[in-house]
Structure 1
Amino acid sequence: MTLTSSDSLGDVDDTFVFDRLDFVDSPHEQVVFCQDAESGLKAIIAIHSTVLGPALGGTRFYPFVDERAALTDALRLSKGMTYKAAAAGLRLGGGKAVIIGDPRMLKSEALLAAYGRFVETLGGRYITAGDVGTTADDMDVIGKYTDHVTGRTIAAGGSGDSAPLTALGVFHSMRAAAASTWGSPDLAGRRVGVEGTGKVGYHLIRLLTEAGASVVACDINAEALNRATQNFPDLLPATGVIASPLDIYAPCALGATLSHQSVRDLSATIVCGAANNQLADPSVEQSMAEQGITWVPDFVANAGGLIQMAGELAHKSAADVTPRVEKIFDTVHEILEVAAIDGVSTGVSANRVADARIHAARH
């Protein structure tokens, strides 16, 4: 097993990591490239900030197009985790990891073990958890090789899958946005488009259905969509939702679905979902504002899972931290109120809250 340097990027880019725009604009404390030839592991661990505490963030196992895309994802996601923790008032920093490859073909106990040993070498600066392509069972395996892991199964002493509480946070974020936009948090009769019916999207559909909302959903994974359709008979499956007639658009798959083009096609009044890095470009938020669309910043709406992981570190169960997840409603309400009073975007308002907490901790 070897810990590689940035030379391992090969032809990932013509520039050094330090010269990349996404690194210059938001410098990271540490980026580690990990490789274990025997198991096939190729991973990148990005630590954006440890100002507020150890960097906590999930491990995404995904067949990236190339190593450049993997690095971009790790850098963007880790920065998002810094702001997510700060906005949620947690004493945690931001980090994220990606494992390159198709988990259905490459995932093995040997690979997860090798990855766990790499996490251990960081001495607690980075704490991992589940994400796209990884599960609570995977965290149990990783946890055999490092203590710096959360999101393990209840049987292994963890708090279990974080998807339900992540969905709960998104649901209450929607309610807060609805109260700000329509004068009531009631979602009954509202038409919600859920893009992505995986772990979080599935539970969000359940909550929306129970609340009386009309839900239309799509997923590139036919199996995931069929599962949701079978368990929620009133769900309307679709090949896509962003251009459908909607009150609320909920991106819950991979990020960057909101571009200037897609926003022009968007009929929803509210955008609120679980996906990270929803904006293809920061200027897209201005396009939404010009169309009268209220956007709940993703790192605020999807903080439920992180709150659960922070609770697990303090030996609390998912049930113990549920009230704090429900308070995301209050956080979103405050951000939307400040944005309206100060005449700024919701993204700027949310960033100001997070930046103030980071600045206070640094000084």
Structure 2
Amino acid sequence: MSALWTEPDWDEHERVEVVHHRASGLTAIIALHSTHLGPAAGGTRFWHYAEASGAMRDALRLSRGMSFKNAMAGLPIGGGKAVVLLDKNGTKTPEMLEAFGDAVEAMGGRYVTAEDVGASEADMVAIAQRTSHVCGLPAEEGDAGGDPGPFTAMGIYLGIKAAAAHKLGKDSMEGVRVAVQGCGSVGGGVARLLAKDGADLVLADIDIKRAQELAREVGGTAVESDNVIGTQCDVFSPNALGAILDDEGIARLDCAIVAGGANNQLARREHGKRLHERGILYAPDYVINAGGIINVSWEYLCRQRGETCDINEVRQRIAQIPGRLQSIWDASDAEGRPSNEVADAMAMELIGRG
């Protein structure tokens, strides 16, 4: 068995902890990438992995992505991530949530958890019974917090519009063909916002019925999940799981822009160069999908200070996402460098590793 720091996704993580609670059946990984800017914040992914190595890979990659995301969003927090390993039936019990809450509490405030794939607002409420270091809790009307999905979707929508303006010279989404992969809270939200602007939508989800239902709602077309990446379109918007942009995936792309909310869309860093060489504009995922963490982290920070957090502050911060993307694309154009490399360099500087 190789040492953790020889793993290909190891990036000088400050702390990686494997938690096993025999009584509840909990097995989890909590990875803190950087606390340079503040406590490491990032959601918890509840998922079944065929092999434990997949869980460790996710924890390492996603925590690094959170460091970059939070830094680029101008938030006074660092980056972390947790993965809870589920059995093949996806079993998740109250006892497991309690044990995980205890594990977060034991980190002494260095890690703040939130929702991710496989988690719900109700799960965060349960975890909050054991630790105060949790965000994404139910919010009153007009306050930050709650489900981060709609806020993530809003940032992606604004980013897609910015990408269409930069790459296609379009000041409207009317008639722009967008292929949306993933029709859950985020992808579905993106599709509904784009539909209001008159975009031509192609929709896919691992649950084809969900894609078909959304297509009927927004006037789009549903396709099989495996086929959407090769769909001819102006914008391909991945909003499901990551690492889809590998050699094969990039070869199949028939688009001018990749802009979506999935974390770690690039299988490896060098795949950003492949997109660049093909002339495909890429919106770095951790920049365009920051709306959700902006919302829930602001909720947490306000709660820690005993303040009410106005939702308008969150919206104003999400509205800055297109400008950040534009600065990355401008530098990419000027320097001839892939946009992901430009963004990574900016983020590394912000977390003190430049």
Question: Which residue in 1 is equivalent to 2:328?
Answer: 335
1:340 Cα deviation after fit: 1.1
Give structure 1 regions of 4+ aligned residues with deviation exceeding 3 angstroms.
102-105, 155-158, 317-320
Q: Which residue among 13, 36, 44 is the counterpart of 1:59?
A: 44
Q: Any unmatched runs of 5+ in structure 2?
A: 303-307
Q: Which residue among 267, 273, 282 is the counterpart of 1:280?
A: 267
Letter paired with 2:266: L
Residue 208 in structure 1 maps to residue 194 in structure 2: yes
Query: What aligned pairs does 1:314-329 form with structure 2 within 5 A after superposition?
Result: 314=302, 315-329=308-322
Please say if residues 127 and 150 of structure 1, whose CA atoms lie closer than 8 Å, have aligned partners that are also in contact. Answer: yes
What is the CA–CA distance in structure 2 between the aligned matches of 1:258 and 1:345, rounded to whole Å? 14
What is the CA–CA distance in structure 2 between the aligned matches of 1:75 and 1:103, rounded to whole Å? 22
Q: Any unmatched runs of 5+ in structure 1?
A: 1-13
Question: Which residue in 2 is equivalent to 1:11?
Answer: none
SS of 2:43's equivalent in the other structure is: strand
Letter paired with 2:293: L
What is the CA–CA distance in structure 2 between the aligned matches of 1:230 and 1:346, rounded to whole Å? 35
Letter paired with 1:61: F
C-alpha RMSD over aligned residues: 1.9
1:343 Cα deviation after fit: 2.0
Query: What aligned pairs does 1:194-343 form with structure 2 within 5 A after superposition?
Result: 194-232=180-218, 234-239=219-224, 240-313=227-300, 314=302, 315-343=308-336
What is the CA–CA distance in structure 2 between the aligned matches of 1:318 and 1:188, rounded to whole Å? 29
Question: Which residue in 2 is equivalent to 1:96?
Answer: 81
After the TM superposition, which of the residue ranges 120-129 and 257-266 deviates more from structure 2? 257-266
What is the CA–CA distance in structure 1 between the aligned matches of 2:5 and 2:82, rounded to whole Å? 18
Instruction: Name the CA shift for 1:58/1:185 in 2 (closer, same or farther; >3 Å).
Output: farther
TM-score (norm 2): 0.93
SS of 1:186's equivalent in the other structure is: coil
What is the CA–CA distance in structure 1 between the aligned matches of 2:171 and 2:121, rounded to whole Å? 33
Instruction: Name the CA shift for 1:317/1:36 in 2 (closer, same or farther; >3 Å).
Output: farther
Question: Which residue in 2 is equivalent to 1:46?
Answer: 31
Please say if residues 66 and 78 of structure 2, whose CA atoms lie closer than 8 Å, have aligned partners that are also in contact. Answer: yes
Q: Aligned pair count?
A: 345
Please say if residues 146 and 296 of structure 2, whose CA atoms lie closer than 8 Å, have aligned partners that are also in contact. Answer: no
Letter paired with 1:312: E
Task: Report the identity percentage.
Answer: 39
Instruction: Name the CA shift for 1:340/1:205 in 2 (closer, same or farther; >3 Å).
Output: same
Query: What aligned pairs does 1:169-188 form with structure 2 within 5 A after superposition?
Result: 169-188=155-174
SS of 1:154's equivalent in the other structure is: coil
Please say if residues 150 and 158 of structure 1, whose CA atoms lie closer than 8 Å, have aligned partners that are also in contact. Answer: no
Please say if residues 311 and 317 of structure 1, whose CA atoms lie closer than 8 Å, have aligned partners that are also in contact. Answer: no
SS of 2:201's equivalent in the other structure is: strand
Q: Deviation digits for residues 158-216 of structure 1, max 9, x if unmatched?
A: 71100001011111111111111122342111111111111211111111111110111
